[in-house]
Structure 1
Amino acid sequence: MRFGRTLRATVALAALAALVATPASAVLAPPDAAGPPTVTSADIRFSRPPLALRYGSAREAGLTPRYVDRIQDTITSFLSATPPAHPMYPGAVALAGRGGVIVAHDAVGFALRYSDAKPTELPRDRWIPMRRDTIFDVASMTKLFTAIAAVQLVESGRLSLDAKVVRYLPAFAAHGKSDITIRNLLTHTSGLPADPEPSLCEYDTDAERWAAVLGIRPANPPNTVFLYADTNMMVLGKVIETVTRQRLDRVVADRITGPLRMRETMFNPPASLKPRIAAEEYQSGRGIVWGSVHDENAYCLGGVSGHAGVFATARDLALLAQALLNGGRYGDARILSERSTRSLFTDYNGAFPTHAHGLGFELDQRRYMGALSSPVTAGHTGFTGTSIVIDPLAHSFAILLTNRVHPTREWGNNNPSRAAVGTDLAMALPVRPTQGPTAWFAGTADNATATLTIPVRVPRDGARASFDLWYDTASPDTGALEASADGGRTWRLVPSLLRAPGYRWSTDGTFAGFQGRRWLTAAAPLPAGTTHLRWRSTTAAAPHGRGIYVDAVRVVAPSGTLFDDRRPGDAARFRATGWTPSRD
C-alpha cells in the first residue's frame, strides 16, 4: 500500500513537473480541428456600447474609399437598357454602413416613370426623381418585422418556438397540420405551399380569406423539405394577433418601429405620402400600383399581413440593421435581448444545407448578398426589388431599395444589383498584407482564369513551399496550387497543408468557399525536378466572394532557400496574369 501511494505520488510529481515545464499555450490550447475555419452565431460580437448611426467617410469606418465610391456607379449602371432592351429598374436607393457610420446613401433614377406595362412613358415633366428619402413597399422584407415580433413574444414567454401552431389557432389543424410548429413557420420548414390557391382576392370577406389560409392543405409533411412560403408568415402574423389581441400593424408599431423611431416605416401609408412613394407595377383593375401594397394577397387582406405590407425608407431600415448589430438595442430602446438577437443569425436549417435560415432571416445567400455573405450574414429580399444584408462579422450592412416591378414584374428580378452592392461594401473591407506593403490579389472578374507563377528549380532532395493564403469564393469559383516539371507546359495539383489558429487540414491543392475571413498558412512539398509553381484562380459569372490573396512566398530546400519574395530579385520573378499587387 505504501509503495502504491509512493508510486502514485512520484507519478503525480512528475506530471506536475512536466506541466510546469510546458508552455501554458500548449496546455490550454485544444487540439487542432479539421478545417477550414468557420463561424457560427456564437462568434458574433455585438457592438458595445451600442452604436448610433451617423454619416461619415469610408476612412472613418475603416473602409477603402474607392470601393465605397463605386456603390453609386454600380446602382446607376443598372439603369441602362440591357437585353431585352429595358433597364433592371427605373430607380434605386442604396445605403451602406459599418461600425455605426453611414458611408454611402445614394439615390438614382426615377420613382415614377411609366403609365402602363407596355411600357408607355409618362410625359417627361411627370417623371418623379428618386430621392434618398423615397418610401418603398418592401414586400417580403415585411417577414422580418413579423419574425422579430414573434421572437419578442418567445422572449417574454407568451409564445414557444416548439409549440404547435394549433395551440394558438385550433382551426389550423385541418388537413393534418397539427404537427407544424412556430419554428417551422419561421424557418420555412412547415411543408405549407408557397401561396394560397386560389388567390385570397377570390373571396368576399376577410373571414373567408382567413378560413382559406388556416384551412390550406400542406404540400409536404413538416421538417421534410425547405419551401419558402408566404403562407408561413401569413399564419405567423395571425398567431401574433391572437396572442397579443392586437392587429399586426399595431404590434409592429408599438414594439419595433416606434421604439426604434422608424418614423417612416408603416403599413398602409396615408395618401399624403404618395408623392414620396416609389411607383410599382401596372395591374389590371388597379392601374399603376402606387401608394398601396403591391402583393395581391396582402392587398385583399386590407394591406396588413405577416408576409407583406410594410413600407419604409432606406434610412429607417438602417436603424433596424444597426439595432441588430448592437444586439437588439438602439439608443435607450431595446427590442430584443442579445440572446434573442443571436437567434436571428443562428442556422436552424442544417438539414437543408443551401437554405440556411435563422428565425425569419435568411443566412449566407450569395445570390443577393454577394461577397458580404458568410455563415452568419443575415438578410432578406422583397419581390418589389428590395433587400437588406447584415454582416455581423464586419459590423456592416447594405440596403438596396428599387422599384424593379415598375411597370411590370416580367422584367425579372434584380439579384445581380443586390449582390453587386453587397460586393462593393465587402471589397471595401480591407485585407491587409501579412508582410510588406502589398499582397497578390487574384481579382474577381467574371469567367476568368488568373495565374501567378514563379520559376523554381527543385533539386533531387526536394523542397518545401510555404505561403500565406486568404480566400473567400462563391461556388463554382475555386483556387489551386499547381506545379510544373516541364517549364510550364503541363501542370499538376500540389497537395497542401493549411493551418489557422486552432485548425489544421489537408487539401489536394484546391481551395474554395468560406475560410473564416482570416489569413492561413500553407505548406506543400515539391518533388525533385519541379521547374515552376503557380497559383490559379478560376471564376464563373458573378456573384463572387471577396477573392483570393497570396503573400509571404518561400521555397526552401535542404541545401538552402530557393525563393523568398522578401528578396527584391525573387519578388521581380513573379509572372502575373490577372493577379495584381494589393494594399487592401
Structure 2
Amino acid sequence: MRAKATVLRIAALVAILTVTGATAMAAVRADSGRFDRPQRGFAPSDTVLEAASPERAGLDPAPIREAERTIAGMAESDYVDGHPLFAGAVGLLAHDGKVVDTYATGSALRYADGEGTELPADEQVPMRDDTIFDIASVTKLFTSIAVMQLVERGEVELTSPVASYLPEFGVNGKRDITVEQLLTHTSGLEPSLFLWRDWPDRQARIDAVLRVAPQDEPGTTYTYSDLNLITLGLLAERVTGDPLDEVVADGITDPLGMTDTEFNPPERKLDRVAATEFQATPARGMVRGEVHDENAWSLGGVAGHAGLFSTARDLGVLAQALLNGGTYDGERVLRPSTVLQLFTDYNSEFPGDSHGLGFELDQIWYMGGLTSPSTAGHTGYTGTSLVIDRQSRSVAVLLTNRVHPSRSWGSVNPARQAWAGGLARALAVEPTTGSRAWFSAIGDDNTATLTTPRLDPRGREATVSFDAFISSEESDRLVLEASTDRGATWTTVPVRARGSGAPKGTVTSLSGTDHRHWWSVRARTPRAEDLTLRWRFTTDGNYTARGVLVDGIRVMGARGVLFDGERHPDRLDARGFTATDR
C-alpha cells in the first residue's frame, strides 16, 4: 500500500513539473502579490532577497505594523503574570523575494537566574536584526535536506530500511523501518529519551538511540520524535564519512551563504547570541552560546534534531532557496523535484499530522493565515518558527528566546500566529464586484455579523447571491442566516458554493484553509413577508487564519431586486466586518 502511494506521489510531482514552463512563469509574474491568485510552480531561480517597503511589494503595511505591535507587547514586563511572554524577538517577513519587514524587540540577554532577576541595565543585551538564536528543532529541516541530498546522489533510498545504512539500528523490531518513515515521523519510535541523564557518554547515548525499540508498530501512527532525526543525522554521517556539522555546512549553509548558521557558534559571536534558559538540572547555569536542548548538548552540540544556531536573515535565505526550487544566488542545493517532495503530504493516512519529507505542512497553530496544504515549516522549542507559503511565495520567520530565563513562562504560539497572520492579511485580495468587499478577521472566540435591512419578499422565497473568500479554521464558520421576526430569532439558510476548493452540494456553513479563491454562493430563503438576512462569522477559542470576505451581495424576489449591497453598502449593519479594497 505504501509503495503504491509513493508511486502515485512521484507521478503527481512529475505532472506538476511538466506544466511549469515559460508560459506558466509569465503568468506567475503577472499575478505577483495577489493572495487570491495562488502561484503555480516555483519563483524565478534568480530571485534573491532584497529589502523593500510593503507598499513596493504590493502589500498593505497596516497588518504588518499591527503584528509588530503585538510582538512588542508580548515582550513587555507585565504581559502575563507579571513577566513578558518572551524576553525578546526578531522577525522577518518576505514576499515575492522582497523582505518587507525585519523587526527586533526586547532583549537577547535580560535575566541573571531562573527566577527572573533582571541584570543591571548596562549588562542587558538588546535584540538586533542580526541576533543569533538557538533554533532548536528547526535544525530538523537541515538534517532532512542533507538526507535528501544523499537521495539525489543515489547514496540513500527513501524506501530502503534504515538498517541498510546503519546495521546497528535494525534491532528490537526496527529491521524494516524506512528512511521515509523517519522523515515523516511514522517510524513508531517514542518522542525522546533522557540521553543526557541516563547514559554516561556520547557513544552510550548513540547506542541507546540505535537500539531503542519502537513503541508502536512502524507505519501505523504518527508520533513526533527527536529520535527519528537523531538517527537520520547518524545516517548522514555514516554514508558521507563526515560529521553532521560538516555535512550541513558543505551541502547547505556554505553554498547558500548562511554565514551565521552553524552548530556550536564560536566565542567571537557570543555578543550576538540570544540567551536561553537558566538550567539547574543539569547544572549549566544561564545557557548562552551552547545548545539549549539537553540531549543535543550531551552529544557535543551537534545532532540531527537540534543544535543549529541561526539568524532571521539566514533562515529567510533558506526559505527563498526552496521557493526558487532549490537554488539561490546561483547555487543549487536541491533539485526542484526534491523540493516538491518536501512540500507534498506523505501522511494522508494521519489527518492533522500532514508532513512532507522532514517538513511540517498545514499547521495553523503556528502558520496562522499563511497555512494551507502546501505551506511548509517547523518550530523550535526555544521559541522559533519558520513558515514557507508556496502559494503566495511568502516567508515568515519568528525567532524568540521564550525559554529565557525559564521554559515555564508560556507558549509563544499566539506570537507565531500573529506574525504569520500579519503578513497574510497584508496580501491583496481583489474584490469581485466594485471597489470594496466586506472583511472580517475578528480573532479567537468572537462573532462578527453583516446584516441587511428588512426586506419584503411578499410572502415568497427570495434568492440570495454573494461571493465569499474563506480562510478560516474548519471550526471557524461563516453562516448565512434569516429572520422573519425582525431579528428576534435566526435560522440557518443552506447555501451552495461554486469555485476552486468549494464544498460539494448544499452546506450550512463555509470554512477551511485549503483554497485561496473566491466562491460564488447561492441560497434560497424561507417564504416571508418580513425578511432580514445576516452573515455571521464565529470563531472558537484557538487558531485564526486570515479571515473571511463577502462581496457582491444581491437579494432577488419574484418582482425584482430586493437589495443590492453594491449600490447600498451603507444600509448594511456591519459589526466586526469592515469595507476593504484588499
Aligned counterparts, 1:429-508, within 5 A:
429-454=427-452, 455-500=454-499, 505-508=504-507
- State the 1:179 CA deviation: 1.7
The answer to whether residue 549 in structure 2 is matched with residue 544 in structure 1 is: no
Looking at structure 2, the residues matched to 462 and 524 of structure 1 have their Cα atoms a distance apart, in angstroms, of: 10
Counterparts of 2:501 and 2:198, CA distance in 1: 59
1:491 is displaced (CA, Å) by 1.2
Instruction: Note closer, same or farther for the CA distance 1:531–1:503 as it changes in structure 2 (3 Å cut).
Output: closer
Distance 1:83 1:274 in 2: 29
Match among 147, 151, 158 for residue 150 of structure 1: 147
1:201 shift after superposition = 4.5
Secondary structure of 2:101's counterpart equals strand
Indicate whether 1:267 and 2:263 are aligned: yes
Pairwise CA distance, 1:503: 5.8
Deviations 1:313-347 (A, max 9, x none): 11111100100111110011011111100111111
Query: Where does residue 116 of structure 1 map in the other structure?
Result: 113
**Structure 2 CA distance for partners of 1:493 and 1:126, relative to 1, 3 Å:** same
Map 1:75-224 to 2 at 5 A: 75-80=71-76, 81-196=78-193, 198-224=194-220
SS at the partner of 2:82?
coil
Does the aligned pair in 1 maintain the 2:45–2:325 contact within 8 Å? no
- Cα distance in structure 1, aligned partners of 2:581 and 2:522: 24
Relative to the length of structure 1, the TM-score reads 0.90
Deviation, 1:484, is 1.5
Equivalence for 1:369: 367
Shift of 1:502: 8.3
Give the 3 Å change call, closer, same or farther, for CA 501–119 of structure 1 in structure 2: closer
The question of whether the paired residues in 2 share the 8 Å contact of 1:434 and 1:551 is answered with yes
Bigger CA radius of gyration: 1
* Distance in 1 between residues matched to 2:445 and 2:298, nearest whole Å: 45
Other-structure match for 1:74: 70
Tell me which moved more, 461-470 or 311-320.
Answer: 461-470
- 2:211 and 2:234 mapped to 1: Cα distance? 13
In the other structure, the counterpart of 1:25 is none
Hey, what's the Cα distance between the residues in 1 that align with 2:554 and 2:367?
A: 36
CA distance 1:504–1:233, change in 2 (3 Å): closer
Aligned equivalent of 1:60: 56
SS in 2 for 1:61: coil
CA contact (8 A) 2:372 2:514 kept: no
TM-score between both structures, scaled by the size of structure 2: 0.90
Rounded to whole Å, the distance in 2 between the matches of 1:502 and 1:250 is 44
- In structure 1, what is the Cα distance between the partners aligned to 2:578 and 2:116? 45
Q: SS in structure 1 opposite 2:415? A: helix
Q: Distance in 2 between matches of 1:507 and 1:131?
A: 53
CA distance in 2, matches of 1:496, 1:476: 17
Contact residue 55 and residue 101 of structure 1 kept, 8 A: yes
Residue in 1 that maps onto 2:30: none
Q: What is the aligned length?
A: 541
Structure 2 residue aligned with 1:3: none
Please tell me whether the aligned partners of residues 440 and 548 of structure 2 are also in contact (alpha carbons under 8 angstroms). Answer: yes
Residues 188-222 of structure 1 deviation map (CA, whole Å, 9 limit, x = unaligned): 111101112x4244433322121111011211111
Match of 1:560 in 2: 560
Structure 1 residue 457: Cα displacement: 1.7
Question: Is this contact kept in 2: 1:493–1:508, CA < 8 A?
Answer: no
Asked whether 1:512 is paired with 2:508, we answer no
- Inter-partner Cα distance in structure 2 for 1:158 and 1:43: 33
Shift of 1:461: 4.3
Whole-Å Cα distance in 1 between the matches of residues 443 and 397 of structure 2? Answer: 24
Structure 1 residues 456 and 150, CA, compared in 2 at 3 Å: closer, same or farther? same
Cα distance between partner residues in 1 of 2:41 and 2:163: 37
**Structure 2: runs of 5+ lacking an equivalent:** 1-34
SS in 2 for 1:400: strand
The equivalent residue for 1:36 is: none
For residues 526 and 56 of structure 1, what CA distance do their matches in structure 2 show? 49
| Distance in 1 separating the partners of 2:401 and 2:57 | 29
1:482–1:509 Cα contact (<8 Å) kept: no
What letter matches 1:466 in structure 2?
Answer: S
For the aligned residue pairs, the C-alpha RMSD in angstroms reads 1.7
State the distance in 1 between where 2:204 and 2:236 align.
19
Distance verdict in 2 for CA 1:195–1:501, change over 3 Å: closer
Counting aligned pairs with the same residue, the percent is: 47
Whole-Å separation in 2 of the counterparts to 1:501 and 1:281? 47
Distance (whole Å) between structure 2 residues aligned to residue 431 and residue 512 of structure 1: 17
SS at match of 2:553: strand
Letter in 1 for 2:103: D
